[in-house]
DNA sequence: ACTTGACCTTCCTGTCACTGGAACCCCTAT
DNA sequence: ATAGGGGTTCCAGTGACAGGAAGGTCAAGT
């Protein structure tokens, strides 16, 4: 398989696949013309990576997950630890974003949004108005 | 005021304040020694920026908000439009993250996390298992 | 007068995970 | 012969800073 076909199968842009080779996540063979030749195992790896990335795992955790996936002697505890750590980070980000959303929502609600210049959003930003808890 | 004092007042790192000068968000005067001299108006601007950034507005939107803040003839509709657009983006991000959280949560829950190698997280990533709606 | 230490300056590099683009090579079909 | 649609490399840019090196400045203490 050439890179275009793998890109279609995995849904990853060819640029991204080249980048993943650059950083050592995959190591496709090369043909006589210099083209990358991807074997099914490479495509499976890339599909795994695409899914892990879509769930927001950072690259280095993807690398670790990939290594565990290929290690038949792994302990599932190691996998779980990585995923649980990621989950905690996601929940923190959601909490942070939710607090921000509430504040911005209140500001937007308070603003009439007409042609006049007085604006609670600007005064809120200037005065540091925060969502009451 | 020197940069350190403004940093303390605004809560922004001095590095960040220098960066904001670089990209033209503030233009403090300079003393004979080459030090930046911040006037109260500069500090107010930076406080405004710090709050807008804390609410997740990207720099360019902060620049626009700052310009509107200083424009006495603004229409509050222009401010509201920016904030509403930002709010929509936040809500999209929360929705995306929530879907991810649900999927990762389910994977973590399904994994025993012991010394054995079989792991629903890895099979889920390999097979593309998704949270059922 | 000298030194110490805190503060300030600029400049360069690195982050994260790509994305866009230039310039060029390869293969097949018309 | 040419046109197109692959592929290749390398360089630069993204957002919003952070880290660090190398050096100038200032006030206080000895």
| pLDDT tens, position by position, A45-101 | 999 999 999 999 999 999 999 999 999 999 999 999 999 999 999 999 999 999 999
A129 pLDDT band, cuts 50/70/90, is low
DSSP reduced 3-state for A112: coil
Nucleotides of D under 7 A from a protein CB: 6-9, 15-19, 25-26
Average pLDDT over chain A reads: 94
SS (H, E, C) B64-130: HHHHHHHCCCCCHHHHHHHHHHHHHHHHHHHHHHHHHHHHHHHHHHHCCCCCCCCCHHHHHHHHCCC
A81 touches strand C (CB under 7 A): no
pLDDT exceeds 80 at position A130: no
Residues 6+ apart with CB under 8 A from A75: B114, B115, B116, B117
Quote the pTM value: 0.91
DSSP A115: S
Enclosing H/E stretch for B30: strand B29-30
B45 touches strand C (CB under 7 A): no
Nucleotides of C under 7 A from a protein CB: 7-10, 16-20, 26-27
Question: What backbone torsions phi and psi does residue A16 show, to the nearest 5 degrees?
Answer: -65, -40
DSSP reduced 3-state for A64: helix
pLDDT exceeds 80 at position A44: yes
| Interatomic CA–C1' length for residue A29 and nucleotide D7, angstroms | 14
Chain-chain contact of B104 with A116 (C-beta, under 8 angstroms): no
Chain-chain contact of A72 with B117 (C-beta, under 8 angstroms): yes
| pLDDT tens, position by position, B53-98 | 999 999 999 999 999 999 999 999 999 999 999 999 999 999 999 9
Question: What backbone torsions phi and psi does residue B30 show, to the nearest 5 degrees?
Answer: -125, 140
Chain-chain contact of B113 with A52 (C-beta, under 8 angstroms): no
What is the per-residue pLDDT for B116? 97
DSSP A128: T
B36 touches strand C (CB under 7 A): yes
| pLDDT tens, position by position, B101-120 | 999 999 999 999 999 999 99
What is the per-residue pLDDT for A126? 93
Instruction: Determine contact: B48 vs chain A, CB below 8 A.
Output: yes
Question: What backbone torsions phi and psi does residue A25 show, to the nearest 5 degrees?
Answer: -85, -30
A contacts of B116 (beta carbons < 8 Å) = 75-76
What is the per-residue pLDDT for B130? 56
What is the per-residue pLDDT for B127? 84
Q: How many CB atoms lie under 10 A from the CB of residue B121?
A: 25
């Amino acid at each position: 398989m050439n890179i275009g076909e793998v890109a279609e199968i995995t849904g990853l842009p060819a640029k991204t696949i080249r980048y993943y080779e650059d950083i050592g996540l995959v190591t496709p063979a090369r043909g006589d013309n210099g083209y990358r030749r991807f074997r099914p195992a490479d495509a499976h790896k890339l599909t795994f990576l695409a899914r892990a990335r879509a769930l927001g795992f950072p690259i280095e955790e993807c690398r670790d997950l990939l290594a565990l996936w290929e290690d038949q002697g792994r302990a599932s505890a190691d996998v779980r630890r990585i995923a649980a750590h990621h989950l905690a980070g996601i929940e923190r980000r959601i909490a942070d974003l939710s607090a921000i959303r509430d504040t911005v929502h209140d500001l937007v609600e308070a603003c009439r949004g007409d042609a006049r210049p007085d604006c609670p959003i600007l005064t809120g930003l200037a005065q540091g108005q925060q969502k009451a808890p």
